[in-house]
Amino acid sequence: MVEGWKMIYRASFEYQASLVADILKEHGLHPVVLDRKDDEFMIGEVEIYVAPEEEEEALNVISENVFDEEE
């Protein structure tokens, strides 16, 4: 991970983060998915990071294209 990158999305499941990362890539962005789950206990989250210069655009893409399953 490059210092200064911004965490823009957090998911409970890897497939959710993967879908969001794919949407970001389709919009020309360069997300990095970081799995912070404990493999033994299966607790934790999967996070998506982008470079600081992509943060605003990435958040806009997420707000326009990703719907929270709880809504």
pLDDT in tens, 11-24: 988 899 999 999 99
> What percent of the chain has a predicted confidence (pLDDT) above 90?
66
Instruction: Examine the pLDDT at 34 and tell me if it is beyond 80.
Output: yes
Q: State the alpha helices, DSSP H only, in 1-71.
A: 14-26, 55-65
Kind plus residue range of the DSSP H or E element containing 32: strand 32-35
- Residues in Cβ contact with 65 at an 8 Å cutoff, skipping those fewer than 6 apart: 23
Q: Is 46 exposed, middle or buried (0-12, 13-18, 19+ CB in 10 A)?
A: buried
Per the confidence metrics, is the pTM higher than 0.75? yes
Domain 6-65: give its CATH architecture: 2-Layer Sandwich (3.30)
Per-residue pLDDT at 38: 63
Which residue would you say has higher pLDDT here, 69 or 12? 12
Q: Given the structure tokens 């399953």, which residue do they identify?
A: 69
